[in-house]
Structure 1
Amino acid sequence: MVTPARRGPDLRAWAELLRLPALFTVPGDVLAGASASGGRPGPRTLLAIGSSVCLYEAGMALNDWADRDEDAAERPHRPLPSGRVRPGAALAAASVCTAAGLALAARAGRPALAVAIPLAAAVWAYDLGLKRTPAGPAAMAAARGLDLLLGAAATGPGTRPVRHAAPSAALLAGHTLAVTAVSRRETTGGTPLVPLAALATAGALTVLLGARPGTRATSGTPAPARAAGDLLRTGIATGYAVTAARPCLHAALNPSPALTQRAVGGGIRATIPLQAALCARSGAPATALLTVVLAPLAARFARKVSIT
């Protein structure tokens, strides 16, 4: 008798579970934090990026594990309810990714680990309980802000770099808060007030990103270089505004599930130009350009795998 061949893992299902296109929005958190800290990215920054990626993917796997019953009713095509990925495998992946993320943060130094621990706690708390409460968007915003601070803690010595990066973390958290609030209605649609609030948030952030940074970020910089930095920052901030605002406007005019999902997808994609603008605002144009390069990669993969 011929034994049937054992099927290997469904790679496309795992790519959907882990939201592969959204993964490109993660390194920019750490790079923006490193830029805001005033330090120069190095090996510890790379370790922090690895930690951030692991913790993000832990959150993606844990999210679908926690939502498997709800997805069975609303999104049966998702990897867990469709049977393409076993729930136990998703939970194991979340656990392994969390452990790997904390281990990499420890290698990046004690300050980085001190940020990674509450970041991991925020990820698990959000997915296992806070997501369905009014505190859900704030918890997700806190996780993104901590992710940026992880880059600052890994790149600069002591706690002062974390304090320097706090304003950038607040801007990133504000964007995340707005996107997460919209995402709570992506399967049902609803009131136009939430996408309108997200639209207003994108406008306010664009203004703040376009403002010239403080003297610490530009001290000692020649005037032509400052002018070039201003132009780069303004251009990237405009890209952020277009990416984030247009789908929010459409969702506000017609808050259907389809347009609400597009608003969420646009908000996720807009994270990359936001991170790049934060790098430029901190006086790190090279890091800003490096971050911008991640945007077309995310768009390319989003054509094959859903970003939400």
Structure 2
Amino acid sequence: MTGEGCGGVSAWAELLRLPALFTVPGDVLAGAATAPGRPGPHTLWAVASSLCLYEAGMALNDWADRAEDAAERPHRPLPSGRVRPSAALTAACALTAAGLALAARAGRPALTVAAPLAATVWAYDLGLKRTPAGPAAMATARALDLLLGAVTVRGGVRPALPAAALLGTHTLAVTTVSRHETRGGAPLTALTALAATGALARGLGRGSGGTRIPGRARQPRALGYEPARPLRAALAVAYAATAGRPYLHAALNPSPQLTQKAVGGGVRATIPLQAALSARGGAPVSALITAALAPLAARLARKVSVT
């Protein structure tokens, strides 16, 4: 898009927080890893749906926050005039419609999960994020995104619930810290997030891979045998380091700048977490594909902020 008020590529990249987009495919892949069977085209349609719904939330977030951003973040695309508010809202609506259409293409079970996911995204951006329920709503959205991947492979959502709970816990911690990113001054919040990260990392490292089929022993994934412990351990360490270090810095010096870095670290840590969950589910190929997105996200984050 070009022209005054419509915004150029850089403005839309900032509005949509493109580096954070790399944290999305791993949700669906981690969910698919928990279910028996092999991921197929339906899983790819679910990934595309997830990407659209995520970006819809990004555009809607800035549209809903345009007045607040004018006072606290005047450099953002909407208050700076680089993107019109109406264009952001139109993009949010179009991306939501596209996300639901792609979910329908992935099958009725996927649409059944994508519909409440879209509703949660809109509810969060339009009101819940300003209430105590905000972090829980965001955690619910991430958990639903993982379940979206699970329903594209036979087995339903039940096997994916533990992984969804782990991803939701991480998201709850990041979102809680993010509520202080413009003001800082919340060392206890950062310490709590740091403790949650440590607990999750320990759980990931101890988790066992493979898929349990009712009435049968745990079986290896079709795309690879149960991942070696070093792979799971390495991914757990990468997750802990990516999120833990900036959380610690924010706890010791809770300035707005370090709090924002803590939020960015937490967002980027979603990728190794997703990879570890895929490995834990017995899908090392999905784990490695997901992990490969991390350096791409880090490179783009040097040009476009993820928060």
TM-score normalised over the length of structure 2: 0.94
- 2:198 corresponding residue in structure 1: 203
Of Structure 1 and Structure 2, which has the larger fraction of its residues in helix? 1
Matches within 5 A, 1:267-306: 267-306=266-305
> How has the CA–CA distance of structure 1 residues 210 and 6 changed in structure 2, closer, same or farther, with 3 Å as cutoff?
closer
> Equivalents in 2 of 1:180, 1:220: separation in Å?
36
Q: CA separation of 1:162/1:220 partners in 2, compared to 1, >3 Å: closer, same or farther?
A: closer
Q: 8 Å contact 1:229–1:283 — kept in the other structure?
A: no
- Alignment-mate amino acid for residue 62 of structure 1: L
Q: CA deviation at 1:41?
A: 1.7
For 1:72 and 1:215, locate their aligned partners in 2 and report how far apart those are by CA, in whole Å: 50
- Distance in 2 between the 1:244 and 1:105 partners? 31
Q: Which residue is equivalent to 2:20?
A: 22
Deviation for aligned residue 1:39: 2.8
Distance 2:299 2:231 in 1: 24
- 1:177-228 CA distance string (max 9 Å, x none): 0000000000000121000000000000001101132664583559xx55x5
- Map 1:194-273 onto structure 2 (within 5 A): 194-213=189-208, 216=211, 219-221=218-220, 226=226, 229-273=228-272
Which of 174, 193, 205 is 2:169 aligned to?
A: 174
Corresponding residue number in structure 1 for 2:95: 97
In the alignment, the residues of structure 1 paired with residue 127 and residue 77 of structure 2 have an alpha-carbon distance, to the nearest angstrom, of 21
1:23/1:220 CA distance change after superposition, 3 Å: closer
Q: How does 1:142-181 map to 2 (within 5 A)?
A: 142-156=140-154, 160-181=155-176
- Structure 1, unmatched stretches of 5+, are none
Equivalent AA in structure 1 for residue 205 of structure 2: G
In structure 1, distance between residues paired with 2:177 and 2:250: 9
CA contact (8 A) 1:79 1:85 kept: yes
Q: 1:253 to 1:293 in 2, by over 3 A?
A: same
Match of 1:82 in 2: 80
CA distance in structure 2 between the partners assigned to 1:14 and 1:272 by the alignment: 23
Contact 1:36 1:165 in 2 (8 A): yes
In 1: Cα distance, 2:3 partner to 2:133 partner: 44
Aligned length: 299
Unaligned runs of 5+ in 2: none
Measure the CA separation in 1 of the matches of 2:61 and 2:186: 25
- Could you say if the C-alpha distance between residues 9 and 79 of structure 1 is closer, same or farther in structure 2, counting changes exceeding 3 Å? closer
Identity among equivalent positions (%) equals: 70
Deviation of 1:161 after TM superposition, in Å, equals 2.7
CA distance 1:167–1:201, change in 2 (3 Å): same
What is the TM-score of this pair, normalised by structure 1? 0.94
State how far apart, in whole Å, the 2-side matches of 1:67 and 1:215 are: 43
Look up the match of 2:136.
Answer: 138
Counterparts of 1:229 and 1:112, CA distance in 2: 31
* Preserved CA contact (<8 Å) 1:36 1:161: no
Q: Does 1:186 align with 2:185?
A: no
In structure 2, distance between residues paired with 1:144 and 1:212:
21
Considering only aligned residues, what root-mean-square deviation do their CA atoms show, in Å? 1.8
* Comparing 29-38 and 75-84, the one that deviates more: 29-38
Q: Which residue number in structure 2 is paired with residue 115 of structure 1?
A: 113
Q: Which amino acid aligns with 2:248?
A: L
